[in-house]
Structure 1
Amino acid sequence: MSDDRRTTDSDYEMTRESLARGTLLHALRADPPAGMTVRSDAELERTLRTTLERHPSGRDLHVFAYGSLMWNPALDMAGSSVARVDGWHRAFCLRLIIARGTPEQPGAMLALDRGGKCDGVLYRIDAAKVEAELRLLWRREMLADSYQPHWITAKVDGHAIRALTFVVNRSHDRYLGGYALDRVAHLIRTGRGPLGTSRDYFDSTVQALARLGLHDAGIERLVREIRGADDAEAEAANG
């Protein structure tokens, strides 16, 4: 790959095939957004190995999904179920400058942040496929240091299950902790990048929660804020 390659829409597709090829990794390393550092293969492998050291060899592994993994997992799964996690909540708490945002038109991205509770989807990965599937997941979630892998306890029908998920790195310069609701809504409404809009990501998350019959108070507040901003913009445009 030449050093002057520019990223294209297809580089940002989140499919098993593109993750296996490392398309996004190569594209970002060749053309990183201003202010973003992309992990090397060695760094990705080191963080993966550190995480796997805390998982018993030969056992199935569970992954807790709360955002795009709910509606586009791109994982080879042995099963899935609705689950709840206590002590963490779903939040649009990361400023997004790749995929569905750029440094010029940043969007907002979901992560798990401290406090509250979160309902989502628990995926089970067969023991024989754990390492291969997590390597694909690492190429999706661990490109930069905005996310941190974290072991949590998920509850399914009253049963506690140890699971892996990705939580926000609160020390990251793109962390939006403390942002007012209207500012986060503005990022969602205006963010745009090679993969599409931040609004599409938000709408897909809302639709996935509805399909699963899950309610999220924080997301519902954002829905009201975004719709109010849409109505105000339309009213202003109509004079």
Structure 2
Amino acid sequence: MSALPFPSLFCAHDRDATPMLEHTMSQWGGSEDLWVFGYGSLIWRPDFAFSERRTAHVHGWHRALKMWSTINRGTPQCPGLVFGMLSGGSCHGMAFRVAQTDAPAVLKQLWQREMPNAVYDPRWLPCKTAHGTVKALAFTLSRQSPHHTGELPPEEYRRIFAQAQGIYGTTRDYAQATFDELQRMGIRDKALQKLLSYAAN
């Protein structure tokens, strides 16, 4: 997939999910298999057909529990949190290979799951794996997005872990499931471990 660009496919002000999907499908091109990078719940609950998965490492982006959720893991009255990929640092996760024939349907599934409000910025990122580097679709978050929390104090994480719950469960369970799966993969996320320690205090 050497022809795919690394920059964000859309500017922060363009929040219409349908053309974003169409553009992403155009950038993929349909001539080969599709790769998708998972760094949060996609790791432990991909919910799409894939033919291969590899532990992967991305430079220049990191996993951060800094995206407001008012449906999946919280409500408008008590917002919860979900992960976004923010620029800077690095991130270990999972790269999923999707067969060329399955990719159009999988992309539509991913859009329904990850992009109902077009919050994320889809990007093609180079993912290093044990079998070489692949360019994978990843859902990143802009710090200029109104859904980005900015820096939250420990007491705010503690409150959210104790109270926030959406249609898919609590923020705490979501964060813990991601941490547990990363550990199972042999990946240690010290930042997430620290955040989860607030829930125990």
Larger mean Cα displacement after TM superposition, 91-100 or 50-59: 50-59
**2-structure distance, mates of 1:130, 1:180:** 40
| Large movers: runs of 4+ above 6 Å | none
Match of 1:25 in 2: none
Give TM-score scaled by structure 1 length: 0.74
| CA-CA distance at 1:158 after TM superposition | 6.5
Corresponding residue SS for 1:127: coil
1:90-239 equivalent positions in 2, closer than 5 A: 90-157=63-130, 159-227=132-200, 229=201
Match of 2:59 among 82, 86, 101: 86
Aligned pairs, how many?
A: 187
Determine the C-alpha separation between the residues in 1 that align with 2:77 and 2:34: 39
Higher relative contact order (CA 8 A, sep 6+): 2
Identical-pair percentage: 32
RMSD: 1.6
- Distance in 1, Cα, partners of 2:94 & 2:30: 23
Taking the aligned partners of 2:93 and 2:154, their CA distance within structure 1 comes to: 22
Structure with more helix by fraction: 1
User: Residue 77 in 1 paired to residue 50 in 2?
Assistant: yes
Q: Distance in 2 between matches of 1:85 and 1:185?
A: 29
Larger radius of gyration: 1
TM-score, normalised via structure 2 length: 0.87
Gaps of at least 5 residues in structure 1 are 1-38, 230-239
Q: Which has the higher strand share?
A: 2
CA distance in 2, matches of 1:126, 1:54: 16
Distance of 1:137 and 1:60 partners within structure 2: 16
Structure 2 gap segments, 5+ residues each: 1-14
